[in-house]
């Protein structure tokens, strides 16, 4: 069974509360998502292997450390996942970035694929699949299945706000994928929006409504 990591550090809770406020505009919303993603990136990379190496400080020789293991690919689910890319790239500047375009059909709430462009060597990378909202879990589950079809073995899901329904779907469909979220909210409403949530993440990031 995959693990659910609720990364509820005080700084993250504070910043997420500002994001939830309906009066927060797109500029601040983007900035806060960037900052929270960086803080969560610290947690999602906690088990990355490190190796020792000899280094020389101005005072002498000592043991230093280097992050090793598999290379990373960051894969946002378009559009809202794009808001998490820069924060992760700040921490992992040599990571490659793939894109999966999915939108939810407004009536059925099921995801529709419209784009997929992934690094050629994606199968050998650790993939951080990111989307701020895990609602029904349909988008995240389909995106994870697309990655697995390309041979990816190591996937972690990074979200901001999750609904119990979405977590359940991901854990049933992909028991091998750990989920990192800043908040586990109460439930979905009749339109499959997260309550209390923060509204439509894509619209709030890009000012489209």
Residues of the shown chain interacting with ligand URA in the complex, contacts defined by CB under 6 A: 80, 133, 135, 193-194, 197, 200-202
Binding site for ligand PRP (CB under 6 A): 77-80, 102-104, 109, 111, 131, 133-140, 166, 192, 200-202
* 95 binds, options ligand PRP, ligand URA, none, Cβ within 5 to 8 A by partner type: none
Q: Is 108 a catalytic residue?
A: yes
Task: Give the nearer residue to ligand URA in terms of CB position, either 31 or 206.
Answer: 206
104 as an active site residue: the answer is: yes
Minimal distance, residue 203 CB to ligand PRP, in Å: 6
Smallest separation (angstroms) from ligand PRP to the CB of 126 = 21
Q: How far is the CB of 140 from ligand URA (least distance, A)?
A: 11
- Cβ count within 10 A of residue 196: 12
8 included as an active-site residue: no
- 161-162/183-184 β-pairing: parallel
Tokens, residue 205: 């990031």
152 or 163: whose CB is closer to ligand URA?
163
In this structure, the strands spanning 194-195 and 187-188 are antiparallel
Q: Which does 193 bind (CB under 5 to 8 A by kind): ligand PRP, ligand URA, none?
A: ligand URA
Handedness of CA 206, 44, 77, 111 (dihedral sign): negative
Closest residue (Cβ) to ligand PRP?
A: 202
Instruction: List 99's β-bridge partners, or say none.
Output: 117
Measured distance CA(163)–CA(100) in Å, rounded? 21
Name the DSSP class of 82: G
The verdict on whether omega for the bond into residue 172 sits within 30 degrees of 0, i.e. cis, is no
Among the listed residues 37, 28, 41, the one whose alpha carbon sits nearest the alpha carbon of residue 205: 28
For ligand URA, give the closer residue by CB, 127 or 201.
Answer: 201
Q: Output 95 or 135, the one with its CB closest to ligand URA.
A: 135
Structure tokens at 120: 């050629």
Give the residue numbers marked as catalytic.
Answer: 104, 108, 200, 203
């Amino acid at each position: 069974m995959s693990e659910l990591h609720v990364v509820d550090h005080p700084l993250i809770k504070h910043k997420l509360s500002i994001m939830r406020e309906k009066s927060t505009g797109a500029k601040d919303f983007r900035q806060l998502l960037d900052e929270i993603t960086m803080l969560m990136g610290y947690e999602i990379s906690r088990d990355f292997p490190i190796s020792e190496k000899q280094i020389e400080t101005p005072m002498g020789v000592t043991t230093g450390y280097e992050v090793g293991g598999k290379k990373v690919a960051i894969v946002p689910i378009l559009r809202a996942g794009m808001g998490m890319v820069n924060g992760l790239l700040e921490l992992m500047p040599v990571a490659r970035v793939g894109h999966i375009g999915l939108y939810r059909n407004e009536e059925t709430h099921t995801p529709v694929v419209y784009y997929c462009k992934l690094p050629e060597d994606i199968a050998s990378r650790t993939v951080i699949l990111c989307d701020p909202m895990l609602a029904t879990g349909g988008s995240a589950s389909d995106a994870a299945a697309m990655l697995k079809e390309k041979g990816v073995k190591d996937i972690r899901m990074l979200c901001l706000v999750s609904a119990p329904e979405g977590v359940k779907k991901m854990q049933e469909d992909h028991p091998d994928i750990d989920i990192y979220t800043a908040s586990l909210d109460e439930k979905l409403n009749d339109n499959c929006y997260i309550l209390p949530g923060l509204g439509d993440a894509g619209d709030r990031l890009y000012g489209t409504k």
